[in-house]
Amino acid sequence: MDLHALTNDPEGIVEADRAHVWHHLLQHKPHDHGVDPRIIVEGKGLKVWDIKGKEHIDSVSGGVWTVNVGYGRERIARAVGDQLTKMCFFGGTAGTIPGATFSQMLIDKMPGLDRVYFANSGSEANEKGFKMVRQISHKHHGGKKSKILYRERDYHGTTITCLSAGGQEERNAQYGPYTPGFVSVPHCLEYRSQDGSNGEAYTAASLKAIEDVILREGADTIGSLCLEPITAGGGIITPPVGYWDGVQALCKKYNILLHIDEVVCGLGRTGTWFGYQQFGVQPDIVTMAKGVASGYAAISCCVTTNAVFEQFKDDTDKLGYFRDISTFGGCTAGPAAAIENMHIIQEEGLLENSTTMGEHLKANLHALMEKHRWIGDVRGKGLFAGAELVMDRDSKEPVDEKTVAAIVGDCMKQGVIIGATNRSLPGFNNTLLFAPALIATKDDLDHITDAVDQAITRVLG
């Protein structure tokens, strides 16, 4: 095969993809029946162009809420190229200049946290956090304090152990048996209040539900509680007021490490550097990935306090250090890209833009809610928002998956890429999802919500 000719032949590329590429999270059958695989060839700002030349505005930052600073940033590409030319890789037992520089920049934005462990994906970073908790349990509690609590509807990654900490039906089903020692606590979506309570009473009930699990399992068996600050794929769930204060208090009371998964919310998505900073909470372990280098390179981090780190410095014990490695955690492309990514967020005021444009996006979605009775709830923070679709506002019966897919597909035809949540609990993948690059303007957001308006009208009436 002449590969040069192939690269310059759009139809050949589509056929090579159809024949050989196994796409993520995709049912491929339609590709056997004339539907072409989607191939994205170029991006600039919020826009992407596919191989057929069609322009799209991307409201989900690369489909999976990653490209926080937008497409086409030559500055990042150049920094990565320069760094790779000088020093591409060295295994993580040694440091590198971009690794140390980025760690300093990151820790400057995370008061109370001290150490950065480099890896490649969100799943991997979370696994590091779980392993740290397990090793601490073996060192100090005879292995007994090893359970990890996670929450319904949250997602922490794709490996079997991350799925063991995963609260989403669609991602988990048929991949068991799972890693033992993971225990779920109920979700905290007030709109779907489990006992009908709301406001302060709902917050109290949600916290009591966590405490009940702690008491049932025994606090001396629980090492950490791992939560997303705002549940992303499970429904854009902004926790009720006071929830995070209560979570922090429970962790303190029962000596449980608080692990916050910032894989989605990190690096400005909600309007602060990290989602947890919206709630004034102080975690022990923070994991991050997607927005760290906005997709320009693969990098994730597991960040800890010194209190956690110091427990891995026992040189009287042959096993007294963190016996973990991530080969490509030593690739310098990640931190080189992450440094420029952070500079861009800072210099262009993207945290502020996420906050103000996030208000505009929410206002647009609320206006759609006035117009369309199918929208039951609007949630989110910063440029991270969801609109939950229901058949009826009183019963709150969720619209079905096909309807959601039809709305997403209609937007796509209009040249607007929007997202939808995963099926978390049975029947619930009924939330439209918006997480555009943090450079989004009012015009971009109006364009996106106008498309949604038309799509809902066409699909649901």
Binding-site ranges for ligand PLP (CB under 6 A): 64, 121-123, 126, 155-158, 228, 232-233, 261, 263-264, 289
CA–CA dist 122, 228 (Å, integer): 12
Neighbours of 363 (CB within 10 A): 13
Question: What does 179-194 look like in DSSP terms, one character per residue?
Answer: PSSEEEE----GGG-T
Supply the minimum distance, in Å, between the C-beta of residue 24 and ligand PLP. Answer: 9
C-beta closer to ligand PLP: residue 261 or 377: 261
Nearer to ligand PLP, 145 or 187 (CB): 187
Per-residue DSSP letters for 98-130? HHHHHHHHHHHTSTT--EEEEESSHHHHHHHHH
For residue 106, the minimal CB distance to ligand PLP (Å) is: 17
> Which residue, 43 or 157, is less far from ligand PLP as judged by CB?
157
**Sole residue written with tokens 């440029």:** 383
Amino acid, single-letter form, for residue 78? R
| Cβ 220 to ligand PLP shortest distance, Å | 28
Helix/strand/coil for 404 = helix
Select 229 or 358, whichever has its Cβ closest to ligand PLP: 229
By beta-carbon proximity to ligand PLP, the closer residue of 228 and 410 is 228
CB of 168 to ligand PLP, least distance (A): 10
Nearer to ligand PLP, 155 or 202 (CB): 155
The nearest distance, CB 124 to ligand PLP, in angstroms, is 7
Report, in Å, the least distance between residue 264 CB and ligand PLP.
5
Rounded-to-integer distance, Cα 290 and Cα 64, Å: 8
Alpha carbon 361 to its chain's center: 19
As a whole number of angstroms, the distance between CA 384 and CA 238 comes to: 10
Give the SS3 label for residue 223: strand
Nearer CB in complex with ligand PLP: 137/161: 161
In whole angstroms, how close is the CB of 459 to ligand PLP at the nearest point?
26
Integer Cα distance of 408 and 377 in angstroms = 18
Beta bridge partners of 261: 287
Q: Among residues 129 and 376, whose Cβ is nearest to ligand PLP?
A: 129
Cα(288)–Cα(109) distance, rounded to whole angstroms?
A: 13
Indicate the residue among 301 and 459 with the shorter CB distance to ligand PLP. 301
Contact 106, 299 (CB under 8 A): no
Going by their DSSP bridges, the two strands 147-151 and 115-119 should be labelled as unpaired
Give me the least distance between CB of 65 and ligand PLP, in Å please. 7
Task: Give the nearest residue (CB) to ligand PLP.
Answer: 122
- Calpha distance 20→457 (Å, rounded): 38
Closest distance of CB 182 from ligand PLP, Å: 14
Q: With 0-12 CB in 10 A as exposed, 13-18 as middle and 19+ as buried, what is 376? A: buried
Other Cβ atoms within 10 Å of 388 Cβ, number = 25
